[in-house]
Amino acid sequence: MPVIVFASSKGGAGKSTACVLVGSELARQGLDKNIRVALLDADPNSHSSGWAILDGCPRNIEIMNNLNENNILDAIDLAKKTCPFVLIDLEGVSSNTVTFAISQADLVIIPCQPSQNDAKEAVKTLKMVKNSSRLISKNIPSWILFTRLSAAIVTKTSRSLLSDFKAANVNVFSTSLIDREVFRSIFSFGGTIDKFKNFEKAQVNVNSLVSEIKNILKKGK
């Protein structure tokens, strides 16, 4: 029943995209055994639940939306009872809803685009998670996920940001989400990436991220 939270103090960092991709892949892997994946959309803009109501959402994904500071903790408890994976897509703000969700996380994933300003926002989010950890006297693992990287080149900026994070002992996923049209298309046309042409590289990219997530959850740090 791990709770995986996608958080960033910045809008547009890639939370909903990462959340839907990871949720879809976990659902695909669990379809035969009817392993259910709860996707809690705690963003009033409803991007993940907007995706889920389009055609092609895996049948073992359970969407919960209209979440706020009054009901998020109850929703998480309920989801944990029925679903082996609970994913939470947050709004790009600092709020009680965000703090409450982070306090329940087994893993916080902080998407970050490869630019200096985005990295500064990611550091703010890391601090937010550290503060929540102090409040509940429990370490909440937090990992930076680089998103929207170029498939063609490793830029000087992304290389430098990665080495800054490593030097500061910040956890960074080895897998980055590449900037791919198919990752945008699912929000326009619904469903999972495998229904689009030339999805294979995107699938490898998402599989690699999900394997890393599962390993982190297994190790619990």
State the residues that interact with Mg ion by CB under 5 A: 15-16, 47
In the structure encoding, which two tokens stand for residue 187, read together? 């929000």
47 binds ligand ATP per the rule CB under 6 A? yes
92 binds ligand ATP per the rule CB under 6 A? yes
**CA 104/CA 101 separation, integer angstroms:** 5
114 binds ligand ATP per the rule CB under 6 A? no
Q: Which of 44, 161, 150 is nearest to 112 (CA)?
A: 161
212 binds ligand ATP per the rule CB under 6 A? no
DSSP label of 149: B
Contact in structure between 94 and 128 (CB atoms under 8 Å): yes
Contact in structure between 217 and 106 (CB atoms under 8 Å): yes
**CA 173/CA 18 separation, integer angstroms:** 13
Give the count of residues interacting with ligand ATP (CB under 6 A). 20
**CA 141/CA 2 separation, integer angstroms:** 12
Q: Give the binding range for ligand ATP (CB under 6 A) out of 67-75, 134-142, 167-175, 178-186.
A: 178-186
Q: Give the binding range for ligand ATP (CB under 6 A) out of 41-49, 100-108, 166-174, 206-214.
A: 41-49
- Minimum CB–partner distance for residue 86 and ligand ATP (Å): 18
- Minimum CB–partner distance for residue 109 and Mg ion (Å): 13
Question: Would you say 144 or 162 has its CB closer to Mg ion?
Answer: 144
Contact in structure between 39 and 87 (CB atoms under 8 Å): yes
**Binding-site ranges for ligand ATP (CB under 6 A):** 8, 11-17, 43, 45, 47, 92, 147-148, 177, 179-180, 183-184, 187
